């Protein structure tokens, strides 16, 4: 072997071993290449740290490490769903980021029960921003509060307990998947429940000559 051949081999040996999608997939299929696993984990950690720093005000390194480990397992389980429309590492980072955001949303609601969201004695001012316009003057805000009280009374008296629970939860931005989990149902059944609740609420508002379009605008964002 000549010196140039030896130098070329050294260059090849020190270049990244997993660059193409095919190389990644081959290395990550059983029996899995440990170097590929470690390199992918490092890629996920870097991507997660960069993303989380833009979203949360705390030390992101431990979170990124935890999320990367969980994401690595999910990626290995879902490799068959990779369709090759992007770089494998780009797809893997998207899986990791989606998982991280899902976990963070769940963490936010960890200590909040559905009962807390539907408690009848909760401060009305806490829910006022859902309908009240902060640009209104004092008289208009008073009118907004009175209108809100009528809507809340309709929700309390005309909707079923399950409809009230689901509607209040999504109005306060609890993720649908989390609401479904806590109500021991699935997303399709939850969609139907919320649809029926909105339909009933709109019908009752119209009976009382209230403008349902403006009042339901906030609900439609859920």
C-alpha–C-alpha distance, residues 44 and 91, integer Å: 10
CATH of span 20-108: 1.10.1740
Residue 192 has pLDDT above 80, yes or no: yes
Residue 1 has pLDDT above 50, yes or no: no
> What separation in angstroms does the CA of 74 have from each of 80, 120, 204?
11, 41, 46
The pLDDT tens digits of the residues spanning 125-176 come to: 444 444 444 455 566 667 667 777 777 888 888 889 899 888 888 777 777 8
What residue spans in the chain does CATH classification 1.10.1740 cover? 20-108
Name the pLDDT band for 12 (thresholds 50, 70, 90): very low
Residue 18 has pLDDT above 60, yes or no: yes
pLDDT reported for residue 141: 63
> What separation in angstroms does the CA of 115 have from each of 21, 100, 121, 162?
48, 27, 11, 11
Residue 88 has pLDDT above 90, yes or no: yes
* pTM for this prediction: 0.52
| Structural contact between residues 39 and 18, judged by C-beta atoms closer than 8 angstroms | yes
């Amino acid at each position: 072997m000549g010196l140039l051949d030896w130098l070329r081999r050294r260059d090849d040996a020190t270049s990244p071993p997993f660059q193409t999608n095919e190389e990644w997939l081959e290395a990550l299929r059983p029996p899995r290449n440990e170097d590929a696993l470690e390199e992918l984990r490092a890629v996920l950690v870097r991507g997660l740290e960069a993303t989380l720093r833009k979203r949360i005000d705390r030390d992101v390194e431990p979170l990124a490490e935890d999320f990367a480990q969980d994401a690595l397992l999910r990626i290995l389980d879902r490799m068959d769903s990779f369709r090759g429309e992007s770089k494998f590492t780009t797809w893997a980072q998207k899986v990791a980021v989606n998982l991280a955001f899902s976990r963070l949303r769940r963490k936010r609601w960890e200590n909040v029960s559905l009962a807390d969201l539907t408690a009848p004695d909760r401060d009305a001012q806490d829910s006022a921003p859902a309908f009240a316009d902060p640009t209104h003057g004092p008289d208009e805000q008073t009118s907004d509060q009175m209108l809100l009280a009528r809507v809340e009374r309709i929700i309390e008296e005309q909707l079923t307990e399950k409809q009230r629970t689901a509607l209040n939860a999504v109005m306060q931005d609890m993720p649908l998947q989390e609401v479904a989990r806590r109500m021991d149902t699935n997303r399709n059944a939850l969609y139907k429940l919320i649809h029926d609740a909105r339909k009933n609420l709109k019908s009752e508002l119209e009976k009382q000559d209230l403008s349902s379009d403006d009042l339901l605008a906030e609900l439609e964002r859920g």
